[in-house]
Amino acid sequence: MSTSAKLYEGKAKIVYGTDNEQQYLTYFKDDATAFNAEKKGTIVGKGEINCTISSALLELLATKNIPTHFIEQKSPREMLVKAVKIIPLEVVVRNIAAGSLCRQTGLKEGQKLPFSLVELYLKDDNLGDPLLTSDRLTILNIIPSEQSQILKDYALQINQYLQEFFSLCEIILVDFKLEFGFTQEGEIILADEISPDTCRLWDSQEQDQNKKVLDKDRFRRDLGKIESAYQQVQQRVLTQIEKLKNS
């Protein structure tokens, strides 16, 4: 397989075409941004860790009948994926109040939500990825409401599998963001990545509110020890995947 043109460069990944028009190659960078790229930095080794964790989790979800773009991890930083047209929505699932939910509603960080909250945000950096209402979604006409329901249903199923999986890793899945895309056949599949960049992950054995953070909030909030937190997640995820494979 050889790569062709760079199709897209985002804040954390580059997408290349390949000689097979149904497949893309995604390259995971060490670059880190937060607050709509107002804050920029590097997390050394992040590309390899996020590519490896995402590959493992997407493969796991595929075994649970969640269709995903994952084909193969080609190298530590490269993932071969099915070519999709990304739906410009960020699908966020929240189990525990944190981040923008606390900022916007006054809920206290760490409060368990009475149900898993699924929210759709418009994926548009120029607009700062605003939270959508269902009427705004209808007016923007990005996808019909039956399809947005499919995204929400997948998101809740994924939440259930990931919560169970992470709890075996002694990690609490606080919240996370998903992206979906359309294949050339028009099927909706899970795309992008699932990693400490896109999830809030708390060490369930740690009581200290700052020490328990194992995700990109360490970068967003200048908590230090970012690389070791990402390595910790990778090690726990890979160990647990191995255990599941051998059981």
Contacting positions for ligand TMP (CB under 6 A): 92, 98-101, 129, 175-177, 198-200
d(CA 90, CA 178): 6
Interface with ligand ASP, residue 123, by CB under 6 A: no
The C-alpha atoms of residue 162 and residue 95 are separated, in whole angstroms, by 12
Beta bridge partners of residue 176, listed in sequence order: 93, 199
- Position 102 contacts ligand ASP (CB under 6 A): no
Per partner kind, with CB cut-offs from 5 to 8 A, the member of ligand TMP, ligand ASP, none near residue 218 is none
- With CA atoms as reference, report the closest residue to 176 among 166, 186, 187, 185: 166
For ligand ASP, the binding residue among 36, 133, 167, 204 (CB under 6 A) is 36
Q: Which is nearer to ligand TMP, 220 or 225 (CB)?
A: 220
What is the secondary structure of 99-157 as a DSSP string? HHHHHHH-PPTTPEEEEEEEEEEE--GGGT-PBPPHHHHHHHTSS-HHHHHHHHHHHHH
Q: Least CB distance from residue 62 to ligand ASP, whole Å?
A: 25
Instruction: Answer yes or no whether residue 33 interacts with ligand ASP by CB under 6 A.
Output: yes
DSSP 224: S
Of 82 and 200, which has the nearer Cβ to ligand TMP? 200
Q: How many residues touch ligand ASP (CB under 6 A)?
A: 8
Shortest spacing between CB 103 and ligand ASP, in angstroms? 12
Min CB(90)–ligand ASP separation in Å: 9
State the Cα–Cα distance between residues 215 and 199, nearest whole angstrom: 7
Q: Is 52 in the site for ligand ASP (CB under 6 A)?
A: no
Binds 92, which of ligand TMP, ligand ASP, none (CB < 5 to 8 A, cut-off by type)?
ligand TMP
Kindly state the smallest distance separating residue 10's Cβ from ligand TMP, in Å: 10
Q: What letter would DSSP give residue 63?
A: H
Longest distance between any two alpha carbons in the chain, whole Å? 51
Residue 176 interacts with, from ligand ASP, ligand TMP, none (CB under 5-8 Å by kind): ligand TMP
CA distance 45 to 39: 19
Rule CB under 6 A: which residues touch ligand ASP?
A: 11, 33-37, 216, 220
